Amino acid sequence: MYKILISDKLAQEGVEIFRNDRRFQVDFKPEVSAGELLSIIGRYDALIIRSRTKVTAEIINKAKKLKVIGRAGVGVDNVDIPAATVRGVVVMNAPSGNTISACEQAFALMLSLARNIPQADKSLREGKWERNKFKGTELYNKTLGIVGLGRIGREVVKRALAFGMKVICYDPFINEEAAKGLGVFLGDLKYLLKNADFITIHTPLNEETKDMINASTLRLMKPNCRIINCARGGIVNEKDLAEALAKNKIAGAGLDVFEKEPPDKNSLLFSLPNVVVTPHLGASTKEAQVNVAIEIAHCVKDALLDKGLRNTINFPSLDPETYKVVAPYINLAEKMGLFVAQVAGGGISSVLVTYKGEINRYNISPITSAVVKGLLKPVLEGEVNFINAVSLIKDRGVAVESVKSSEESDYVSSLILEVKTSKQSFVLEGTLFANQHPRIVRINNTYLEINPEGNMLFIINKDRPGVIGKLGGILGRNKINIGDVSLGRHKKGREAFTILTIDSSLPEKVIKKISSDEDFILIKPIALG
C-alpha cells in the first residue's frame, strides 16, 4: 500500500481519486508545520503540495521512502529540485489546470488599473461621488507587451486581440513562425518596454528573469505605461517599481505576486494610489483548484503504479501509450547496463548508447537513464533509480552520450551500448523479440543470442577441446543446473567466451574451483534479477 501525504489545501476532487482504493492510504494535513513535516515525511511514498509547503533538501533527505512530489499548480520554486533529483524523487506539476484563471487574473488587474476600479469602489463606499477623479483609459487600440509566451501568455494574446489591442511579445525561446501563427509581433525586450502601454509578465522566476523589471528597464517605459505581474514575485524589483510609481515615471502597477509572501504591510507600494494588489489569487478559482487537484492526483497515482510519468520536472514525461512501447526497452536497457557492470573490469570512463530503428521515433532519454541505472546498481545498490542515475554517474566524472543513428539495423530496433573503462572497451547490442522479450545479440564483435535473465556466468576460456565438458562437470558435481549455453570466439584456437544461464547463484567455492583451472581465464557471475 502506498502512503500519500497531502500537506496543502487540495480540492476534494483530487483527494477522492485515492480514496476507496485499497492500494493507497491518504493523510490530508493541509496545515502541517515544517517541523512536523520533517518528523513524519519518512513514512510516505508520495507528497502532494501547493505553494505553502516548502520542500527543502532537509525534508527530502529525511524522506527515505519518497518516490514522488506532486505540485498542484505550475511553479515548483518551493521544491528543491536538485536535492530531489539526487535522491531519485520524481517531481511533477499540474501545469495547465490554472492557465485560464491566471490569464483572467492578469486581465482583472489590467482593467482595474485602466478604470481605477478598487479606488473608485473605496471612494463610493466612503460616501463620495468622484466621477472626474477616476477617469480611466480604454484597452482598445493600446499596445500590450507580453513577456513570456507560454501557456498563460498565449491565452492573454487571444483575449488582448479580442479587446482590439496591438500585441508585442518577448520570449527568447519562441520563434517568429510561432508568433506569426498567434497573430502577434515578436520583438526584443527593449522594443517592448519602449512601446507598450500595458506590460504583463508571464515567465518563470529564474536567474534570467530575476529583477528583469528594475530601475533601468523601468526608465525605458512610457509615462502612461501600466505593468502587471501575475507570474512570480522577484521578476519585478519592488523597491525600483515603487520609486518609479512615486515619481510618476510610469502610470500604474497591478501585482498578484510579491518578493516575499505575504509581503511587508509597510511596503511603500501599498501607500501608492496607482497600485492594485491581490494576495496571489491567480489560481484561486473553483475551476482551477479542481483542475489542478485532479491533474496532479492522476499523475501521482500513475507514477506510483508504474503506469507512466507525466508532467515531470526532473525526468522526461511518458504518457501511458508511449510508456507501453518504451517500457520493454527500459527493461532491456537496465539489463544491458547490469550485464556490462558485472562483466567489464575497471572504473567506467564513458558510456555511449546508440539507438537504431523504430525506437528512434520515441524519446530515448528514459532508456538511456535505465542503462545508467543498470551500470550503477551493483555499485550503489538502493540509492540509484531512473531519476537520479544520469546525475549520479555524471557526478562521478563519467561522460554519458546517446545517439539516434539512421544506419540500418538487423532488427526492428536495437540498442548498442559501448562502455569504456580504465581497462577496456565493452560493446553489447540488445534488441526485443516480438516487441517484448529482451535479448542480447552481440558482445563486442561476436553475434549470439542470450535471454538476459536470472543468474548467469560469463567465462573467458581457452578455445580447446574438452573445456566446456570440464565446466559442465564442475557445475554438475556442485548441483548447479545449466539452463542455456552460448559460445563465442574471435579466432579459432585462442580465447573464447562462454555464457551460461544457471538455475541458482554460484557459491564462492565453485567460482574458486573453476578459476583454479588454467583453461579458465576469467569467470564473472552475473545477477540480472
Binding partner of 50, given ligand NAD, ligand MLT, none, CB within 5-8 angstroms per partner class: ligand MLT
Binding partner of 500, given ligand NAD, ligand MLT, none, CB within 5-8 angstroms per partner class: none
Query: What's the CA gap between 98 and 214, in Å, rounded?
Result: 28
212 binds ligand MLT (CB under 6 A): no
| Selected catalytic residue, list 202, 232, 298, 439 | 232
Binding partner of 140, given ligand MLT, ligand NAD, none, CB within 5-8 angstroms per partner class: none
Nearest distance from residue 154's CB to ligand NAD, in Å?
Answer: 8
**Cβ neighbours of residue 216 closer than 8 Å, sequence gap 6 or more:** none
Using the minimum distance from each CB to ligand MLT, give the nearer residue, 5 or 352. 5
Distances in whole angstroms, Cα of residue 66 to Cα of each of 22, 75, 136, 331, 391: 19, 20, 53, 22, 18
Binding partner of 204, given ligand NAD, ligand MLT, none, CB within 5-8 angstroms per partner class: ligand NAD
- Closest by CA to 302, choosing from 82, 98, 46, is 46
Nearest distance from residue 303's CB to ligand MLT, in Å?
Answer: 19
Using the minimum distance from each CB to ligand MLT, give the nearer residue, 51 or 478. 51
Nearest distance from residue 140's CB to ligand NAD, in Å?
Answer: 25
Nearest distance from residue 204's CB to ligand NAD, in Å?
Answer: 4
Nearest distance from residue 165's CB to ligand NAD, in Å?
Answer: 19
- Number of residue whose CB is nearest ligand NAD: 150
Nearest distance from residue 507's CB to ligand MLT, in Å?
Answer: 57
Using the minimum distance from each CB to ligand MLT, give the nearer residue, 285 or 322. 285
Interface characters, 245-284, with ligand MLT (x: CB under 6 A): -------------------------------------xx-
396 is catalytic: no
Please work out the total of residues on this chain that contact ligand MLT, with binding judged by CB under 6 A. 8
- Closest by CA to 28, choosing from 11, 20, 396, is 11
Query: What's the CA gap between 503 and 481, in Å, rounded?
Result: 6
Q: How far apart are the first and last CA of the chain?
A: 23
> What secondary structure does DSSP assign to 20-75, as a single string?
T-TTEEEEE-TT--HHHHHHHGGG-SEEEE-SSS-B-HHHHHH-TT--EEEESSS-
Q: CA 110, 115, 116, 120: dihedral to nearest 10 degrees? A: -140
Q: CA 189, 153, 202, 100: dihedral to nearest 10 degrees? A: 170
| Selected catalytic residue, list 280, 298, 310, 439 | 280
Nearest distance from residue 77's CB to ligand NAD, in Å?
Answer: 7
| Selected catalytic residue, list 36, 138, 261, 287 | 261
Main-chain dihedrals φ then ψ at residue 314, nearest 5 degrees: -115, 25
Using the minimum distance from each CB to ligand MLT, give the nearer residue, 146 or 231. 231
List interacting residues with ligand NAD (CB under 6 A): 74-75, 95, 98-99, 102, 147-153, 170-173, 202-204, 208-209, 230-232, 256-257, 280, 282-283
Binding partner of 51, given ligand MLT, ligand NAD, none, CB within 5-8 angstroms per partner class: ligand MLT
Using the minimum distance from each CB to ligand MLT, give the nearer residue, 228 or 375. 228
202 binds ligand MLT (CB under 6 A): no
- In this structure, what C-alpha cell is assigned to residue 208? 534570467
Can you point out the beta strands (E) in 62-218?
Answer: 68-71, 90-93, 143-147, 166-170, 185-186, 198-201
Using the minimum distance from each CB to ligand MLT, give the nearer residue, 96 or 349. 96
Query: What's the CA gap between 406 and 325, in Å, rounded?
Result: 20
- Closest by CA to 278, choosing from 297, 303, 253, is 253
Strand-strand pairing, 185-186 and 90-93: unpaired
- Number of residue whose CB is nearest ligand MLT: 73
373 binds ligand MLT (CB under 6 A): no
Nearest distance from residue 180's CB to ligand NAD, in Å?
Answer: 16
Using the minimum distance from each CB to ligand MLT, give the nearer residue, 202 or 335. 202
298 is catalytic: no
Side-chain half-sphere of 31: how many Cα atoms within 13 Å? 0
Using the minimum distance from each CB to ligand MLT, give the nearer residue, 99 or 116. 99
With b for 16 or more beta-carbon neighbours within 10 A and e for fewer, the 455-485 pattern comes to bbbbbebebeeebbeebeeebeeeebeeeee
Interaction residues for ligand MLT, span 18-77 (CB under 6 A): 50-51, 73-75
Query: What's the CA gap between 484 and 436, in Å, rounded?
Result: 20
- In this structure, what C-alpha cell is assigned to residue 521? 581465464
Query: What's the CA gap between 167 and 280, in Å, rounded?
Result: 25
202 is catalytic: no
**Catalytic residue numbers, as ranges:** 232, 261, 280
Interface ranges with ligand MLT (CB under 6 A) = 50-51, 73-75, 98, 282-283
